Amino acid sequence: MIKKRIIVCLDVKDGRTTKGVKFQNNIDIGDPVEMAAEYYRQGVDELVFYDIIASARGRGPILDLISKVASQVFIPFCVGGGIGTIEDIRSTILAGAEKVSLNSQAVKNPGLITEGARIFGNQCIVLGMDVRKDPTKPSGYGTTIHGGRVDTGLDALEWAKKGVSLGAGEIVLNSMDADGTKNGYDIELTRMISENVNVPVIASGGGGTPEHLADVLKEGKADAALIATMVHSGKYTVGGIKEDLKKSGVAVRL
């Protein structure tokens, strides 16, 4: 049985870890290097590092900070935010990341997915999607960029399929409606994307309890669940969440 992954997300702004609700009212919650080391100690399967303002400010990734985080963790490490060229991908991987997440830049330049996959391998290229409910779209969901500030006009399901056909080896699927609410993942959205692409789908947005993770991993058919607020608040540890998931019948790495 393929084990489900638990991934901790560090949203980074101006070199500090930050957390908001639905991408707004962000507050400083700590040093990303120290936090990465702590989650590695707790047994997290992977780490995702998002520079949440890089694309909006038109700059590339913060390589020295990426390198410092990479030096603390010996697990797959994915970096997103401001990666707009092949050179950005190369420098991010050389700084210590195993994967790069392309979101705003992938929408603006879909060829970056294909070229990145050709040079570095599909396993290195993750399609990041910030998705909102939109009744005008065929799937009922639309895609946004720049941290949810810009509507792309793209249907979420169509963009997911296209991203995979272009070469993305994984999707991080973030529900903007659920983000930071701790009320549970968007099961319907996650299941729809998971059933229609042949690459792993990571559910993101809304995780508040171990039950929420169990629901999205089982009912939503996600391959992994991304968490942030749950562990940043200190209410849960990665190890504790995994124990609860195991009791719920979810296969995880302990």
Please answer whether residues 118 and 145 qualify as being in contact, where contact means their C-beta atoms are separated by less than 8 angstroms. no
Instruction: Tell me whether residue 130 is one of the annotated catalytic residues.
Output: yes
Pairing of strands 141-145, 125-133: antiparallel
Q: Which residue is catalytic, options 45, 51, 88, 130?
A: 130
Q: Which of 11, 88, 186, 215 is catalytic?
A: 11
Q: Are 65 and 33 in contact (CB under 8 A)?
A: yes
The pairing of beta strand 170-175 with beta strand 150-155: unpaired
CA distances 195 to 2, 20, 84, 137, 170, Å, are 17, 30, 29, 18, 13
Structure tokens, 252? 């995880």
Q: Give the helix ranges, DSSP H, for 31-152.
A: 32-42, 54-57, 63-70, 86-94, 104-108, 111-120
* 64 annotated active-site: no
Angle between helices 86-94 and 63-70 (to 10 degrees): 40
3-state secondary structure of 73: coil
The residues assigned a catalytic role are: 11, 130
